[in-house]
Amino acid sequence: MNLIPIILATLCTIAGAVGSLGLWVLSIAMAPNSSPAQEAQLKLMFVGTPIVGVAIIAAACVLMAFNQPGWAAVVGALPAVVLLGLIAYGSAR
């Protein structure tokens, strides 16, 4: 059995967990400067981000258990990719 895909899937899942945590911190950081309409969206983001992060980690673990480390790496890295996209979008504005 080749261990490199499993290690890659594990590292991508860890990066996804860090990305999910980063999105959660960004939602906290945006709260003081928001309007009342934006506060409702931030509350939804504040509650939804950890739920989605845990679901993605669980999905990556299930995929690794079913011997699909490539898909586990893709699913595990999604929050990190979203975080990088939001940072790029925010810095371009």
User: Percentage of the chain with pLDDT > 90?
Assistant: 32
Whole-number pLDDT of residue 86: 78
User: Among candidates 45, 52, 47, 61, which has minimal Cα distance to 12?
Assistant: 61
Burial of 40 from C-beta contacts in 10 A (0-12 / 13-18 / 19+): exposed
Whole-number pLDDT of residue 65: 93
pTM for the full model? 0.78
Predicted confidence band of residue 1 (pLDDT cuts 50, 70, 90) = low
Which 8-state DSSP code applies to residue 35? -
pLDDT tens per residue across span 38-66:
888 888 888 888 888 899 999 999 999 99
User: Among candidates 72, 52, 54, 56, which has minimal Cα distance to 10?
Assistant: 72
